[in-house]
Amino acid sequence: MADVPEGGGVILSEERVVVTQPEPGEYRAFSAVCTHQGCVVSDISNGAINCACHQSSFSITDGSVLGGPATAPLPEQAITVEGDSVRLG
Ligand code: FES
């Protein structure tokens, strides 16, 4: 699994998952499929997961909508953290 930056995250487009690290050592994972019209989200900056299609943004902490046309949060996905690696499921 790629390195997940603190206060940010990584987008795994193939798996359609976003893995974030909102607080040091605390990992979360969300669906990377925007709840607006289904684009895969495009980037993560300033604590937000952004969708370039129509500029929706979601919290890296809980997937909630921060802005844009989306009204539903990104669903959280289960992950397992083992030492330095984060595994889906
Ligand atoms: S599909 Fe993401 S903002 Fe529209």
Ligand 1 pocket test, pick from 36, 41, 49 with the greatest ligand atom count within 8 Å of Cβ, gives: 36
pLDDT above 70 (res 77): yes
Residue 68 Cα to chain centre, angstroms: 16
pLDDT above 80 (res 2): no
**φ, ψ of residue 9 in degrees (nearest 5):** 180, 180
Cβ atoms within 10 Å of 62's Cβ, excluding its own? 13
Ligand 1 neighbours, Cβ below 6 Å, are 34, 36-39, 51, 53-54, 56, 68-70
Question: What is the value of pTM for the model shown?
Answer: 0.92
pLDDT tens string 38-72: 999 999 999 999 999 999 999 999 999 999 999 99
What are the angstrom distances between the C-alpha of 59 and each of 35, 73, 84, 85?
13, 9, 23, 22
Question: What's the gap in Å between 82 CA and the centre of ligand 1?
Answer: 33
Domain range for 47: 8-88
User: Looking at residue 39, which CATH number applies to its domain?
Assistant: 2.102.10.10
Would you say 38 and 24 are in contact if contact means Cβ atoms under 8 Å apart?
Answer: no
pLDDT tens string 8-49: 999 999 999 999 999 998 999 999 999 999 999 999 999 999
- Does residue 2 lie within any of the structural domains? no
- Does residue 52 lie within any of the structural domains? yes
